[in-house]
Structure 1
């Protein structure tokens, strides 16, 4: 049996280019979120998302992700969610004024590389992936995706966290 296209057991230790199919997802979409407010958005999303999935009969089909829909500045536009076994049929409100909506991880050509370590190293990991993709002759585009392969938690060692970085190629 083959692995899901956005997820593989072993980390991507070097620049890898993949063709991935679309995958249904349940997300909370947010615009103009400050970097300081991202942890709160993630916490609120995931505390409300799983009860919605249970009620809809949708099983998680991969780890949590953030899909960034514009180039970051002082703020970001993104979708925070999880790939699911089947698509949601309607939007569902959750706490804190958030709304879980049907979405999908996009199909297409992606450059990917894994980051092993704390989230504070993601900015440098993204810069390295972008540089490697350009040097290899690729044309990066949007969206780009962080797939949080290692579930964060109070007992998680930040040095062992794995985040797969997916960069859309035009």
Structure 2
């Protein structure tokens, strides 16, 4: 597998817990884009009605996928929001996490996750539960998929 020169090297960073406002769903992998398409405008609108604002666009996956995947799609927030309808308060975990920047289309994210998992094992660390993605680049109809930036995070056991 060729690694784009713009992609970052994996690293371990310490993060604080971060509040989020999300829509939760359990879906088949081929339905996941529909969750994001519905969640982002709904969460952004709800946050604005509550006097907050969306920060980073995220997808949090509390468990490894099987035939279906559990996902929390929404945004990090500066302060906790309030549950309202399908929008619920959650958080991204704090502690030691392995981080990698993925450059390219979303359909190649699995390769970056595999790379990060191998790197974590090479460091003698054990991956924890739950992983997340921060969608740094906002995809638009005119976006070149090769330029999309996604930061991926994998919590580590102590």
Determine the C-alpha separation between the residues in 1 that align with 2:142 and 2:7: 24
Match of 2:39 among 33, 36, 45: 45
RMSD after superposition: 1.2
Change (3 A) 1:12 1:106: farther
1:75 aligns with 2:62: no
CA–CA distance in structure 2, aligned partners of residues 102 and 78 of structure 1? 14
Unaligned 5+ residue runs, structure 1? 1-10, 94-98
- Corresponding position of 1:117: 104
Contact 2:44–2:53 under 8 Å retained in 1:
no
After superposition, what is the alpha-carbon deviation per residue over 1:7-61, rounded to whole angstroms, capped at 9, x for unaligned? xxxx761111011001111011112x10111011100111211110111111223
Give the match's secondary structure for 2:130.
strand
- Native 8 Å contact 1:13 1:114 kept in 2: yes
Indicate the structure with greater strand content. Answer: 1
Q: Distance in 2 between matches of 1:60 and 1:50?
A: 6
Q: Which runs of 5+ in 2 are unaligned?
A: 1-5
**Mapped partners of 1:47, 1:15: distance in 2:** 31
- Secondary structure of residue in 2 paired with 1:152: coil
Counterpart position of 1:140: 127
Paired position in structure 1 for 2:14: 19
Give the TM-score taking structure 2 as reference length: 0.92
Corresponding position of 1:92:
84
How much does 1:116 deviate?
0.3
Q: Which residue of 1 aligns with 2:53?
A: 59
Aligned length: 152
2:23 is matched with: 28
C-alpha change, 1:167 and 1:12, in structure 2 (3 Å) is: farther
Does structure 2 retain, via aligned residues, the 8 Å contact 1:65–1:148?
A: yes
The runs of 4+ residues in structure 1 deviating greater than 6 Å are: none
Name the SS of the counterpart of 1:150 in structure 2.
coil
